[in-house]
Structure 1
Amino acid sequence: MTQNIQTIEKLYAAAEGASLDLAGFLSCFAPDGYARNVPAGIDFRGEDIALVASGMAEAFPDVHREILHVDATDNLVVVELAIRGEHRGTLMTSAGPVPATGKRIDVPCCDVFHMKEGKVTAFHCYNAANILQEQLG
Structure 2
Amino acid sequence: MKLTSRKSITAATAVAVLGGLSIAAAPTQAAGPVHSGATVHAGAAADGGLTARDLARLPLTDRHLTAHEKANLAVVLRAYHAAEGKSLDVDTFVGSFAEDGVFNDMVAGKAYRGSTLGDVLPYMANLFPDVHRDLKRITVHGDVISIELSIQGTFEGPLESPAGTVKPTGAKVDVPTADFWYLHDGKVEKFNCYPGYSTMYAQMGVDFDWASAVDHH
Same fold, judged at TM 0.5 (above): yes
Q: Within 2, Cα distance between the matches of 1:24 and 1:121? A: 15
- Partner amino acid for 2:118? A
Report SS of the residue matched to 1:10: helix
Q: After superposition, what is the alpha-carbon deviation per residue over 1:34-81, rounded to whole angstroms, capped at 9, x for unaligned? A: 101111101111121111211111110000001111111111111111
* Equivalent in 169, 173, 177 of residue 101 of structure 1: 169
Other-structure match for 2:179? 111
Q: Is 1:84 matched up with 2:152?
A: yes
* Bigger RCO of structures 1 and 2 (CA < 8 A, at least 6 apart): 1
Q: Within 1, Cα distance between the matches of 2:161 and 2:101? A: 22
RMSD: 1.7
Other-structure match for 1:8? 76
Quick one: structure 1 residues 96 and 41, their matched pair in 2 at CA, closer, same or farther if it must change by over 3 Å? Answer: farther
Other-structure match for 2:141? 73
- Partner amino acid for 2:98? A
Quick one: structure 1 residues 93 and 126, their matched pair in 2 at CA, closer, same or farther if it must change by over 3 Å? Answer: farther
Q: Within 1, Cα distance between the matches of 2:163 and 2:194? A: 17
Summarize the alignment of residues 33-72 of structure 1 with structure 2, pairs less than 5 Å apart: 33-72=101-140
Q: Could you say which structure has the higher helix fraction?
A: 1
Q: Could you say which structure has the higher strand fraction?
A: 1
Q: Is 1:28 matched up with 2:129?
A: no
Larger gyration radius, structure 1 or structure 2: 2
Identity, in percent, stands at: 36
Q: Within 1, Cα distance between the matches of 2:164 and 2:98? A: 30
Aligned length: 137
Report SS of the residue matched to 2:157: coil
Q: Within 1, Cα distance between the matches of 2:94 and 2:171? A: 29
* Equivalent in 82, 85, 106 of residue 17 of structure 1: 85
Gaps of 5+ in 1: none
Quick one: structure 1 residues 72 and 92, their matched pair in 2 at CA, closer, same or farther if it must change by over 3 Å? Answer: farther
